[in-house]
Amino acid sequence: MQRFRRLRRDERIRSMMRETRLHPKDFIYPMFVMEGENIKNPVDSMPGVYQYSIDRLDEILERVRKADIGGIMLFGIPAHKDERGSQAYAKDGVTQRAVSYIKKNYPEIYIVVDVCLCEYTSHGHCGMVCGDEILNDETLPLLAKMAVSLAEAGADMVAPSDMMDGRVEAIRDALDLAGFSQTPIMAYSAKFASAYYGPFRDAAHSAPGFGDRKSYQMDFANGQEALREIAEDIEEGADIVMVKPGLAYLDVLKEAAMEFEMPFAVYNVSGEYSMVKAAAAKGWIDEKRIVTENLTAMKRAGAKIIITYHALDAAEWLER
Ligand code: PBG
Ligand code: ZN
């Protein structure tokens, strides 16, 4: 008989035996920047998460700086939306201005920006629309243009989340051509059509106006297809590949991380956050312990980077 319990007798030995340890640098904190002035809007479905106008960002950026996490991931909410999502690649778009502001005033913060059209289009889809069809190839140049304009504004990394085929290659080519060969791409490679994005769509005002995203995001039943998506994004030049959502997809993350020698990211999405916050508010679970357990599980499954709305709290909880 093996006496496994010998190494579990007290916290000193358990701590020594621990295989996975979280570090604040593992975390990327998603943030919502809104057009306008003096705005700090709470997102009802995501307690603790706010939409900020650029002039109110300092408060949260100070906290980001102190938490000393890996970086932030920006989502812009423009005042004006149109068919082609033109504010996504406008030089003076809210996201571009937010990036410049942060770059200038907080140069130590690593800025990742989500590249997708859904927050910027009047129809709320991630690509160009014709009738009820979401167009693939017509969308690619717009995504590429968006990525370049964000790099010009000072983004350190771009993260395409649209799930159009071929977008990593299109973005890579455009960045290289514009002189940004050193800007990495973190691809949302295995992104599933998920009910877990519900609260995010309130936060980012990005719910599709008709239909759903099932013709471009993956069917959640498919694990093998996820490996093919990831292989393709690596082939097209992704520097980091992502599995999204997190908790219900750790099997996919684990398998992919074993198969590909690449840095993996996982997105601990809005619905996962909201479920924890709701149950914690009821006193039904211990928030700090549950969050630590969830984030540790994601790292154990193979994630190098964890994108999470808990980033600042978790970084503050970790003893350093
Ligand atoms: C935009 C995007 C979404 C998320 C990240 N980027 C929403 C969607 O695809 O509908 C989800 C993030 C979350 O739920 O926290 N394409
Ligand atoms: Zn989108």
The ligand 1 atom nearest the CA atom of 198: 14
- What pLDDT digit, counting tens, does each position of 213-252 carry? 999 999 999 999 999 999 999 999 999 999 999 999 999 9
In angstroms, rounded to a whole number, what is the distance separating the alpha carbons of residues 191 and 197?
A: 11
200 C-beta closer than 6 A to ligand 1 = yes
Give residue 68's pLDDT. 96
116 C-beta closer than 6 A to ligand 1 = yes
Mean pLDDT for 243-264 is 98
The answer to whether residue 309 scores a pLDDT higher than 60 is: yes
pLDDT band for position 193 (cuts 50, 70, 90): very high
- What pLDDT digit, counting tens, does each position of 105-144 carry? 999 999 999 999 999 999 999 999 999 999 999 999 999 9
Give residue 162's pLDDT. 98
Token match 């996201």: residue? 95
Q: For ligand 2, an ion, list residues with CB under 5 A.
A: 116, 118, 126
The amino acid that residue 114 corresponds to is D
Give residue 25's pLDDT. 98
Of 81, 145, 244, 277, which one is the catalytic site residue? 244
114 C-beta closer than 6 A to ligand 1 = yes
pLDDT band for position 319 (cuts 50, 70, 90): low
Mean pLDDT for all residues in the chain: 97
pTM exceeds 0.85, yes or no: yes
Q: Which of 129, 249, 240 is nearest to 195 (CA)?
A: 249
The answer to whether residue 99 scores a pLDDT higher than 60 is: yes
The answer to whether residue 320 scores a pLDDT higher than 60 is: no
Measuring from atom 11 of ligand 1, which residue has the nearest CA? 197
95 C-beta closer than 6 A to ligand 1 = no
Hey, what are 42's tokens? 């709470």
The amino acid that residue 246 corresponds to is G
**Do 69 and 315 form a contact (C-beta atoms < 8 A)?**
yes
| Beta-strand relationship, 27-34 and 305-308 | parallel
Mean pLDDT for 244-273 is 98
Out of 161, 215, 266, 277, give the residue to mutate to test ligand 1, the one with the largest number of ligand atoms within 8 Å of its CB: 161
